[in-house]
Chains A and B, each alone.
Chain A
């Protein structure tokens, strides 16, 4: 009898398994598709030509070598920062603090990049490592508070974002004395330039776009994070603590230590993303530098369902939407904010994936599948 029951259960689980394997890809793709359809309606309501808008969006992002290069450069920080958010998700933490960690990393990289004198072979890695350490330090505060006092990381990281942003602003704008601010810059809105020896090398495409070293580094980091999560005991501890903290404790894993470590790794990734933007793109830092990049990284991680490989694609999607938006604006004389609406719709459809499953008659989510993404709210 036990045999019969088990055999039927096995049959059910085989179908289930097949679906489980692919739903992680199918649902986000359908969510993006649905968002574009609804976006088209919204564009239509504003009186613009949705088709022209989307053609513009596509060409603006992928239509020329330069557009493509722009998209890739734009996507890089989303990918790295998204990785940080995803890694924290896997450990059951909702890291809203990527924005603050970006600033912390960028500030550290400016300090090292602008003050030290070294040959590039040392200066570049030192600058990037400084970024990672800056982000780590900032994120570890939230991790420590969570692990030791149970203070919720969502609240802490949001507050730390404000603190990081305001400190950065002060460091740059302070004139008596100048701290990070550049006396040569009359607007007072940006930091000193980092040394040439700290700038990331790259290949110039078009007049202003440089495919810098940070791009291959982002891909390497994707695989490092995937390896860490799935092939090492550290990743096993993080995932276990994130999926079932009770079982983690039972298994002898120190959940507080794992939380601090996961938060620190997440911060390191965001910090590196900040450093790469400084060292690879602008050469300096300004207070409005990231303008919500750290928040978009949450969306990138969610869209990829915290899968490191998936983040390459969701990061590219985010970068391409931003890059393509300019041409879309011109072609269909639309506000550039329409692209924000499309992005918001994508997030809505991903977050409320029951809607997507309902529209496209997909099987229901099995219980527990969403735990990694929603656990952070539970505390």
Chain B
């Protein structure tokens, strides 16, 4: 927040950190200083070396070259226990909590307060309460972690670090799983923490947050520090350009939609999740040819189950799904796919690819049985290779060969391969679920343009994304999903970011919202 961060004492300093992995220099002579009570944002694309650097500071990796100073003292951190002892705490992107245990149990895990041979839960709970009050991190010490929402779980992670007396916090992509409101709350917590002397390294690839919360910004690209700036000097565009190394068009250029006939019609759809609980509670949707309907919502509000039911991967409990006029309620994935439905799955490595297969096999994952890729049951390698070569060229998938396993590609290139595969089929409906999650800015730009191009060709697009910005820049209409229901359907532009954020968080708007059937 303040510009005088430079005068404060340096609590953590990395000098000339270099870390090589076989064939890759993940960190190349990286130096940074963290001052007491400041928020240092570490910005960079996936693969820029942010996580490697943090894992070195946290003791999960050891650097090949370079030195780390904590509070002026040269140290060698060889495991997380040492970094914790030095006051460094880390909140990982994927929480390290035991769901079946209480908040208190999770926080003291590995650092138990004992009274003879017994756990002193009472004393521990007392200390947790003190920490909660001091930093404004309200949480019930006796609640089960499984019962807490994601924002609360993150709070438990932060308290866990503070409980271990951390005064340097590393937050790895902390807002990725939060609603806009929860993210605002996190920002407030970060301010309280820094006001009381805690120093924070905040890792992210979201530009807006960086400008909002950081005191200083360090941008990493290709393992190197490419720039250091402050929110006062930087803009979203200048930061994006630093991250990517060229000018990036953040706004997707698109003409107004010209919607045609309805392609996807969903009526009263109910779907159960893996725990047999109703996750989709009576959803009505309509997507027309040539328009993009964006489903906004915080992860875990039934979007996953909705998409799974639409693509035939999960049985629905009630309701109907019609695609291009054909009733496909509870039809098989193959039947739905054969109607001209492409699906970009939200978890590309789980559903969208067989990562140990070469690109060739992955490029025909759904079409493998059709000519020209197979004659009868015999596969036609040549046709598959030609198809894959074409996809790789057209969609700019960066790979040394079409015969390497998909696992050897970066996330962005894996996603481009999936997009290439799905977009080159003859399409009526495209269901894109989190199409740009965890991929680099350059690939995001490319995939966004491809989605708009498909829309302009007359494809109906259902876009599901937890990133509100993505919905706002792509969708023609927006449906907000909350607790398994569509709580509002509006034209893009009718509601502000904040209003959509409130709806995503389950609030109702004061003024009446025009709701389409």
How many residues of B are in contact with the other chain, CB < 8 A? 53
Instruction: Determine whether the beta carbon of A247 is less than 8 Å from that of B365.
Output: yes
Instruction: Determine whether the beta carbon of B408 is less than 8 Å from that of A233.
Output: no
Query: Which of B4-12, B182-190, B355-363 lies at the interface with chain A?
Result: B355-363
Q: How far is the CB of B311 from chain A (nearest CB, A)?
A: 8
342-397 of chain B: CB within 8 A of chain A:
343, 345, 350-357, 361, 365-366, 368-369, 374, 377-379, 381
Docked pose: A172 CA to B31 CA in angstroms: 80
**A371 CB contacts on chain B under 8 angstroms:** 356
Docked pose: A354 CA to B48 CA in angstroms: 31
Q: How far is the CB of B206 from chain A (nearest CB, A)?
A: 18
**B400 CB contacts on chain A under 8 angstroms:** 10, 13-14
**B221 CB contacts on chain A under 8 angstroms:** 1
Would A240 and B354 be within 8 Å (CB), given that A15-B23, A249-B333 are in contact? yes
- Whether A291 is near chain B, meaning CB under 8 Å from some CB there, is no
Q: How far is the CB of B91 from chain A (nearest CB, A)?
A: 24
Docked pose: A240 CA to B358 CA in angstroms: 12
210-243 of chain A: CB within 8 A of chain B:
231-234, 236, 240, 243
Q: How far is the CB of B374 from chain A (nearest CB, A)?
A: 5
Instruction: Determine whether the beta carbon of B368 is less than 8 Å from that of A233.
Output: yes
Partner of A246, one of B222, B351, B366: B351
Instruction: Determine whether the beta carbon of A233 is less than 8 Å from that of B404.
Output: no
Inter-chain contact total with CB atoms closer than 8 Å = 122
Instruction: Determine whether the beta carbon of A13 is less than 8 Å from that of B404.
Output: yes
Report A239-274 CB contacts with B as 1/0, cut-off 8 Å: 010011011011111100000000000000000000
Instruction: Determine whether the beta carbon of B356 is less than 8 Å from that of A250.
Output: no
- Whether A177 is near chain B, meaning CB under 8 Å from some CB there, is no
Docked pose: A236 CA to B358 CA in angstroms: 12
Instruction: Determine whether the beta carbon of B353 is less than 8 Å from that of A247.
Output: yes
Partner of A233, one of B45, B350, B352, B369: B369
Residue of A15, A231, A244, A371 ringed by the most chain B CB atoms within 10 A:
A244
Q: How far is the CB of B273 from chain A (nearest CB, A)?
A: 15
Report B435-450 CB contacts with A as 1/0, cut-off 8 Å: 0000010110000000
Docked pose: A5 CA to B411 CA in angstroms: 11
- Whether A176 is near chain B, meaning CB under 8 Å from some CB there, is no
> A-side binding surface: helix, strand, loop or mixed?
helix
**A8 CB contacts on chain B under 8 angstroms:** 23-25
Partner of B22, one of A1, A15, A244, A246: A15
Partner of B365, one of A3, A250, A369: A250
- Whether B259 is near chain A, meaning CB under 8 Å from some CB there, is no
**B118 CB contacts on chain A under 8 angstroms:** none
Would A252 and B361 be within 8 Å (CB), given that A6-B413, A12-B22 are in contact? no
Instruction: Determine whether the beta carbon of B333 is less than 8 Å from that of A246.
Output: no
Instruction: Determine whether the beta carbon of A5 is less than 8 Å from that of B222.
Output: yes
**B24 CB contacts on chain A under 8 angstroms:** 8-9, 11-12
**B222 CB contacts on chain A under 8 angstroms:** 1, 4-5
334-377 of chain A: CB within 8 A of chain B:
366, 368-369, 371
Report B220-247 CB contacts with A as 1/0, cut-off 8 Å: 0110000000000000000000011100
Would A1 and B354 be within 8 Å (CB), given that A9-B23, A250-B333 are in contact? no
Instruction: Determine whether the beta carbon of B365 is less than 8 Å from that of A251.
Output: yes
- Whether A2 is near chain B, meaning CB under 8 Å from some CB there, is yes
Q: How far is the CB of A182 from chain B (nearest CB, A)?
A: 43
Instruction: Determine whether the beta carbon of A250 is less than 8 Å from that of B352.
Output: yes
Residue of A234, A252, A369 ringed by the most chain B CB atoms within 10 A:
A252
**B23 CB contacts on chain A under 8 angstroms:** 8-9, 11-15
**B356 CB contacts on chain A under 8 angstroms:** 243, 368-369, 371
Instruction: Determine whether the beta carbon of A243 is less than 8 Å from that of B354.
Output: yes
**A6 CB contacts on chain B under 8 angstroms:** 398-399, 410, 413
- Whether B334 is near chain A, meaning CB under 8 Å from some CB there, is yes
Instruction: Determine whether the beta carbon of B351 is less than 8 Å from that of A1.
Output: no
- Whether A17 is near chain B, meaning CB under 8 Å from some CB there, is yes
- Whether A16 is near chain B, meaning CB under 8 Å from some CB there, is yes
- Whether B332 is near chain A, meaning CB under 8 Å from some CB there, is yes
**B443 CB contacts on chain A under 8 angstroms:** 2
**B355 CB contacts on chain A under 8 angstroms:** 244, 368
Instruction: Determine whether the beta carbon of B45 is less than 8 Å from that of A1.
Output: yes
- Whether B412 is near chain A, meaning CB under 8 Å from some CB there, is yes
Instruction: Determine whether the beta carbon of B244 is less than 8 Å from that of A250.
Output: no
Partner of A16, one of B361, B374, B398, B408: B408
Partner of A10, one of B337, B374, B378, B399: B399
Would A252 and B334 be within 8 Å (CB), given that A8-B24, A13-B400, A247-B350 are in contact? yes
- Whether B313 is near chain A, meaning CB under 8 Å from some CB there, is yes
Q: How far is the CB of A125 from chain B (nearest CB, A)?
A: 23
Instruction: Determine whether the beta carbon of A232 is less than 8 Å from that of B404.
Output: no
Instruction: Determine whether the beta carbon of A233 is less than 8 Å from that of B379.
Output: yes
32-62 of chain B: CB within 8 A of chain A:
45, 47-48
Would A250 and B313 be within 8 Å (CB), given that A2-B412, A13-B408 are in contact? yes
1-50 of chain A: CB within 8 A of chain B:
1-6, 8-17
- In the assembled complex, 17 residue pairs joining A and B whose CB atoms fall closer than 8 Å, in A order, are A1-B243, A5-B410, A10-B399, A10-B400, A12-B408, A13-B23, A13-B404, A13-B408, A233-B374, A233-B378, A244-B355, A246-B350, A251-B366, A251-B368, A252-B333, A252-B366, A371-B356
Top 5 A-B residue pairs of the complex, sorted by shortest distance between their CB atoms? A12-B23, A252-B334, A13-B408, A6-B398, A11-B23
Chain B residues with a Cβ under 8 A of chain A: 21-25, 45, 47-48, 221-222, 243-245, 311, 313, 332-334, 337-338, 343, 345, 350-357, 361, 365-366, 368-369, 374, 377-379, 381, 398-400, 404, 407-410, 412-413, 440, 442-443
Chain A residues with a Cβ under 8 A of chain B: 1-6, 8-17, 231-234, 236, 240, 243-244, 246-247, 249-254, 366, 368-369, 371
List 15 additional A-B contacts (Cβ < 8 Å) besides A1-B245, A2-B440, A249-B313: A1-B222, A9-B24, A10-B400, A11-B24, A12-B408, A13-B404, A17-B404, A233-B378, A236-B368, A244-B355, A247-B353, A249-B333, A251-B365, A253-B334, A369-B356
